[in-house]
């Protein structure tokens, strides 16, 4: 099927980035969120990020104007009924995602492809709660979406080849690279990345090194662009914990047990950059380690 109109559920960090890249690639984008304030902020952020791309000669002024015209927002989920492809980018809670798809199904076209940007939840399980498991798959963008080049495509057990091929073509039109992952907890990137971050938190928890020494060691000793604790703050400590719990529950291996210190930070509401405190305190001009 020809995909021209894309519906995106969720106007947060991932949703606004996904809307951005689809609009630049020439797709008509309908962005929805339960919060009208979130929609307003998302459009303003997309505008700023497009301006930044113009100043860096990545796109032209005309490209920016055209992209902004392609983005429409709505607080009503059911208004996504005309979309050819829907990407759910809501919070990483399975019950919320299931409720979104159940609410959408009566209003969408028979051939609409449903996808989730989930970073860890079973695609097969999400698909089983819909009327079209063969037209359902994982469409996992990396953060920040306009910059990161990878998209993980995850087949559920029932996903058909036509659906996979259609999503593969979409990724190509976006100018990004796709990798195919089987539907196992956390897929490829987070299956490898999150245990590394969790181990860095254990290293801090056990007093092996400070926040600064751990991040400096990985940046200079392993040539990582960001230290693991800095990266955890960027991702969101609540998201890191949720993915580690999915790995631990889904694979039943103690090596995926979330570090107690990660749990404590989340319980304190210190979620990283988005809450201004995590392994670093971001309330001043320069981030300061909190341990």
CA distance 211 to 244: 20
Task: In whole angstroms, give the CA distance from residue 23 to residue 42.
Answer: 13
Secondary-structure breakdown of the chain: helix, strand, coil percentages, each rounded to the nearest 5:
50, 15, 35
Active site residue 119: yes
Lookup: tokens for 170: 């979409």
Angle among Cα 21, 75, 154 to the nearest 5 degrees reads: 45
Catalytic residue among 49, 178, 181, 190: 190
Pairing of strands 150-155, 136-141: antiparallel
Identified catalytic residue from 119, 178, 181, 198: 119
Q: Which of 49, 140, 178, 198 is catalytic?
A: 140
Catalytic residue check, 248:
no
Spell 251-275 as b/e; 16+ CB within 10 A means b: eeeeebebbebbeebbeeebbbbbb
Annotated catalytic residue 230 = no
Question: Crossing angle, helix 189-205 and helix 237-251, to 10 degrees?
Answer: 110
- Which residue in 20, 92, 116, 152 is the catalytic one? 152
Q: Are 257 and 248 contacting, i.e. CB atoms less than 8 angstroms apart?
A: yes
Query: How far apart (Å, rounded) are the C-alpha atoms in residues 79 and 182?
Result: 32
Task: List, in sequence order, the alpha helices (H) in the chain.
Answer: 13-24, 36-55, 61-69, 94-104, 123-128, 161-173, 189-205, 211-221, 228-235, 237-251, 260-267
Are 191 and 271 in contact by the 8 Å Cβ rule? The answer is no
Residues carrying an active site annotation:
119, 140, 152, 190
């Amino acid at each position: 099927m020809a995909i021209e109109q894309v519906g995106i559920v969720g106007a947060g960090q991932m949703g606004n980035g996904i809307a951005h890249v689809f609009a630049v690639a020439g797709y008509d984008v309908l962005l929805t969120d339960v919060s009208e304030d979130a929609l307003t902020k998302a459009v303003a952020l997309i505008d700023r990020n497009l301006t930044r791309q113009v100043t860096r000669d990545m796109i032209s002024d005309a490209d920016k104007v055209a992209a902004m015209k392609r983005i429409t927002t709505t607080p009503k989920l059911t208004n996504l009924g005309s979309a050819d492809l829907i990407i759910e980018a809501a919070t990483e809670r399975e019950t919320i995602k299931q409720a979104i798809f159940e609410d959408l199904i009566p209003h969408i076209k028979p051939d609409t492809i449903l996808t989730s940007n989930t970073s860890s939840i079973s695609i097969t399980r999400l698909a089983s709660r819909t009327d079209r498991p063969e037209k359902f798959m994982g469409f996992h963008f990396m953060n920040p979406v306009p910059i990161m080049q990878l998209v993980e495509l995850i087949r559920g057990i029932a996903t058909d080849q036509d659906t996979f091929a259609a999503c593969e073509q979409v990724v190509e039109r976006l100018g990004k690279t796709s990798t195919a992952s089987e539907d196992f907890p956390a897929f490829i990137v987070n299956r490898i990345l999150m245990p590394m971050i969790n181990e860095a938190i254990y290293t801090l928890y056990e007093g092996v090194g400070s926040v600064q020494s751990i991040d400096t060691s990985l940046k200079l000793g392993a040539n990582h662009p960001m230290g693991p604790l800095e990266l955890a703050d960027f991702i969101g400590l609540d998201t890191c914990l949720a993915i580690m719990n999915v790995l631990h529950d889904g694979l039943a291996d103690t090596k995926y047990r979330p570090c107690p210190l990660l749990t404590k930070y989340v319980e304190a509401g210190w979620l990283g950059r988005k809450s201004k405190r995590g392994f670093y305190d971001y309330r001043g001009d320069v981030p300061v380690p909190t341990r």
